[in-house]
A and B are shown apart, each in its own frame.
Chain A
């Protein structure tokens, strides 16, 4: 038989341009990736965002301080409570107040549950994109249990608008603690099941290990934060580095990866959910009694009882709705750890009823900027899982 060199057997291929998105089933959210392909290999790529741009900042500049809450819900719609907490903390820093101890602990509990819900969605999408449909169903079902708790506390499954400047709308209902503590073991079972299905799965390992790699140095240059940055081995977590609320009083670990590949990002998120549960359990132990809302005549709404029975309350409510309250002039940058990383709010106030400038530093905007670098040179089939592991949320990225 005639002998052939390996290179003679390769089929020649012309470079091909392929447009993925913006409405592609795998690009949850809307994003477009223009790929230059050589056979199955991605030679170069250009990620294009902005298809979900709603003019968040412009809208906020003509809204009152309290009207911004529903908008921030729609930034990262997988964990709206964390955005609300971030915004509330930023305005509170601007006003110069500290919320009540009970409110702090409740914010931590609700925020950590939102973080778990967010990570559940991310892992679900990521595993489904690798063909693992069972974990997807397990994880989304588990997220719905969390949504049921949120519904009981806030009255809404997804878009809560529950936080207020100086506190939150109301206290948690009776039986909240028991319900959450009963839910945590069920979430643990789900995570254990999903890990059992995937972590040592040959297909999963082949498709994720050393795919979409990122080094710590480059990740920092890109401004990465959150689970993506931690997967590269940098233990930066705003909750640890600059503790806010009561994160300084609870004990938790910051899981880090080593390679910065898709597998590490998966593992980091799994472990973070466990740490979140650890935080929730400790927070319940230190939950003090007391009010959850500060009385700030300039920015916070009066009690409904006051509004309907006293003229002062009616006027205060009217002024807050019509003029938007008074927040001292100045500028502030406040960073919190959202599910995807450092969620920063840079707010400029001129003392009026609405923000002069409302800048959101979206964590996944910085993360997704590195997508091209992560997928170039890899297979086209790895584009979608890599994209999923970054967990880009269109609402937050495009604002």
Chain B
């Protein structure tokens, strides 16, 4: 079913599509980031693809690759019942992707989350700030180079406060 969708994208944007596959039945189209909004708008508006339903947006971090951050968007058509995964990659030096909030309002929070956890910036997002973590958090925890055990506390720990006795004094 969604081979048709992949074909439609290929036909409409022949220079933008880098590749496609249908592993395990999930149809995927890999595109360049530049005209992502146009591609998504085409998928949303075109009566043949009719992707009215925004499903998911996330990022996969591939530190070894030239284009480190892979933005993965899942879209769904209620009328036709097909799904498509749109992937695009951006390099670590300039992790900027155009925001698709103008097409799907629901992408707003998902993009904020991706920015929060991966540090990918979404250009044109109306209000790009952290969502799950607090303002002032250092780093982006879902990047592969962020150590899992690293501690950051929004409130200073008792033992770190100057002039405070240790919370549990040792027995004499």
**Residues of A bordering B, CB below 8 Å:** 48-50, 53, 55, 57-59, 62, 93-94, 96, 218, 220-224, 234, 236, 241-242, 330-333, 335, 342, 344, 346, 348, 356-357, 359, 361, 365-366, 369-370, 398-399
Contacts and interface: CB of A to CB of B under 8 A. Distances in A.
The 9 nearest A-B residue pairs measured at CB: A223-B106, A50-B132, A222-B106, A361-B56, A223-B54, A369-B109, A53-B132, A221-B105, A359-B58
A98 to B, nearest CB: 13
A113 B106 CA distance: 30
B11 interface: no
A348 B117 CA distance: 17
B85 interface: yes
A332 B52 contact: no
A53 B53 contact: no
A223 B104 contact: yes
A58 B141 contact: yes
A221 B24 contact: no
Classify the interface of chain B: helix, strand, loop or mixed.
mixed
Contacts of A57: 117, 142
Interface of B: 23-24, 26, 28, 52-56, 58, 60-61, 72, 74, 78, 81, 83, 85, 104-110, 113, 117, 130-134, 141-142, 146, 148
Contact of A333 (B74, B108, B130, B134): B74
B106 A369 contact: yes
A168 to B, nearest CB: 22
Contacts of A50: 130-134
Contacts of A359: 56, 58, 72
A365 B133 contact: no
A49 B55 contact: no
5 contacts: A50-B133, A57-B117, A58-B141, A218-B105, A333-B83
A263 to B, nearest CB: 24
A107 B83 CA distance: 25
A365 B109 contact: yes
